[in-house]
Amino acid sequence: MAETPRFFDANCMVGRYKRFRPGSFYTTERLLEEMAHYGISEALVVHALSRENHPSSGNPAVLKEVDGRPNLHPAWSALPPRSEELRKPHDFVIEALNNGVRAIRLFTAQYFFTLSEWCVGKLLDELEEHRIPTFIDPDPEYAEYTSDRFDWDAIDRLCTDHPGLRVILSAARFRTSNRLLYQLMEKHNDIYIELSGYWFYRGIEFICREFGANRLIFGTRMPLRDPASTLAMVNYAEISEEEKHLIAGDNLRRLLKGAMG
């Protein structure tokens, strides 16, 4: 009998968010209950304050939420450095690593900045040097789901200027831009897709066949979305058990383990 994949959710949030949806949840305790119910072993967690208010509030808050909970791992969000809202890029990255943070999220639309070198180049230099997985989320906030918000030329320039950066694309919905996505995946080996917004018939099978299962990262967007859909996409994909294990969590574990202090 095949061993069950150990799911590691790359996209979870805790803390009360602005436009709370009736029937949803926001507490860490409830997140742990949902994870246990659905068989999700671990989760990478950002605080709602980091997502919707300011990283200076949310980044410390998520450390408190995951403290003493070994299956929850903190993620921080970051901003362009020149406004000096956060520490200088090198100091910020070292502080993150010293606090056990191994992933950074860039909410470009929420905080109104671009991925251009003149804007975030110094921050990306540090993230690249320390091999920290960097999630790029182009949506303004969780309550406003649309699709295809990525600036694909900006993603291409970012990956060209920072070839060692692990870039994880985390969109609310991939829909009509797949031709562009696949071109970039062929060009840049360190582009990954987080699956919570990638809903396509045999899409996982296509990625595994064309680019390899190592390019896919399991994520659910809890508490805003029911994790059952993404779990089903992986569990019922017509791929090998080894590929399912990679997608379910081993890819993310490898990337987080590779972050260097």
Q: How confident is the model at residue 158 (pLDDT cuts 50, 70, 90)?
A: very high
pTM of the shown model = 0.95
Per-residue pLDDT tens over the stretch 16-42: 988 787 778 999 999 999 999 999 999
Per-residue pLDDT tens over the stretch 36-76: 999 999 999 999 999 999 999 999 999 999 999 999 999 99
Q: How far is CA 130 from the centre of its chain?
A: 17
Which 3 state secondary structure label does DSSP give 222?
Answer: strand
Q: Are 233 and 202 a contacting pair, CB within 8 Å?
A: no
CA distance 119 to 1: 51
Q: How far is CA 241 from the centre of its chain?
A: 23
pLDDT on residue 145:
63
CA distance 64 to 258: 24
Which of the pair, 10 or 174, is modelled with greater confidence? 10
**Domains of the chain and any CATH numbers:** 7-257 (3.20.20.140)
